[in-house]
Amino acid sequence: MTHRGLLIGCGFFAQNHLNAWAGLPGARITAVCDTDAARARATADRFGIPTVHTDALTALEAERPDFVDIATTAPSHRALVELAAPRTKLVICQKPMAETQVDAAAMVAACETAGSQLLIHENFRWQRPFREIAARLPALGRVHFARFSFRHGYDNYVNQPYLAEIERFTIMDVGLHLFDLARHLVGEAATITCETQRLNPRVRGEDAFSAMIRHDGGAVSFIDCSFWSRLVPHRFPQTLAEIEGEHGTLLLGEDYRLTVHGPGGRDVLDVEPAVPVWGERPWHVIQESVAAFQAHALDVLDGRTAPQPSGAHNLMTLSTGLAAYEAAETGRIIGLRNWNERRG
């Protein structure tokens, strides 16, 4: 069975979505939608997609797709998810899923009411290095410490100039990826404290942050990110990680070297992802993860597995990121179990 998909949003990152869908048996993007008609047409022509729309509701009503892939920016997500929920089986939404906790909760509720599934395009956990780490985690026993680090000096603003203009930058961009990794690999987050920095005078928001999470069960994780680290060469878009448990340690270093320390000694593994036929280094770690994520989406559509992460799960990741801003503003440790975003 081939599932028919509608992609909404034909911007920079959507090209990765479309390349990955084109290589997956079992799915076919039959239409694209973008408010910029010229961009939508150019994208459709590039990928051989027959139908173009400029209005989301018109597209949904006309296509009635099996799944909708929303690849727009966060301000549009709630409205698009609410439109898509009653008109498809699976709604895939790019992260961040929303700008506010209220909007994210409304998106989850809309899909629950309509009986559709909500899957957030959170691809860091689907990168090959972290799939390999997840597979080896049980051998560590109880985890008590972790660190996730994303530091580089790459000019992100060339391809995504809007990043330099947003008031909330690194936490809502890469930070949510790292918080999702921490929750996925270490356990539910109980408290968070955070410090933010604005290092590059060119950007409006914070371009570096350091956070500490205490997890249910007592483990502690440190998450740090900088878009202003002076490294030669820069290591964008690699994430480094360290996870310690009662029986061993996993260390993910530069160039995708995973060092496994355990009772039997020390082993070094190469966990570099393959370069997709449509991809290139150094972007292959992201490009391959998009394909892995979308293969998972097909498993969800076919009833073989549950969404990872679901909208409900990612709502907690978003809340962790929003609470990190409050922690940085107030200098307090924020409890997350019943935390609600301050409004007004």
Where are the chain's structural domains?
3-121+298-309, 125-272+317-330
Asked whether the domain spanning 125-272+317-330 has the same topology as the one spanning 3-121+298-309, the reply is: no
Q: Identify the CA nearest to 77 among candidates 59, 100, 44.
A: 100
Write out the CATH class of domain 3-121+298-309.
alpha beta
CA distances from 146 to 101, 224, 241, 261 (A): 26, 11, 7, 14
Q: Report which of 321, 301, 297, 319 is spatially closest to residue 309, judged by C-alpha positions.
A: 297
As a whole number of Å, the end-to-end CA separation of the chain is 49
Locate tokens 């301050």: which residue? 342
Per-residue pLDDT of the chain (344 residues; tens, 9 = 90+): 899 999 999 999 999 999 999 999 999 999 999 999 999 999 999 999 999 999 999 999 999 999 999 999 999 999 999 999 999 999 999 999 999 999 999 999 999 999 999 999 999 999 999 999 999 999 999 999 999 999 998 887 887 888 888 899 999 999 999 999 999 999 999 999 999 999 999 899 999 999 999 999 999 999 999 999 998 888 899 999 999 999 999 999 999 999 999 998 999 999 999 999 999 999 999 999 999 999 999 999 999 999 999 999 999 999 999 999 999 999 999 999 999 998 65
Instruction: Give the largest CA-CA distance in the chain.
Output: 60
pTM: 0.95
CATH topology of domain 125-272+317-330: Dihydrodipicolinate Reductase; domain 2 (3.30.360)
For residue 10, the one-letter residue type is C
Question: Rounded to an integer, what distance in angstroms lies between the CA atom of residue 73 and that of residue 8?
Answer: 11
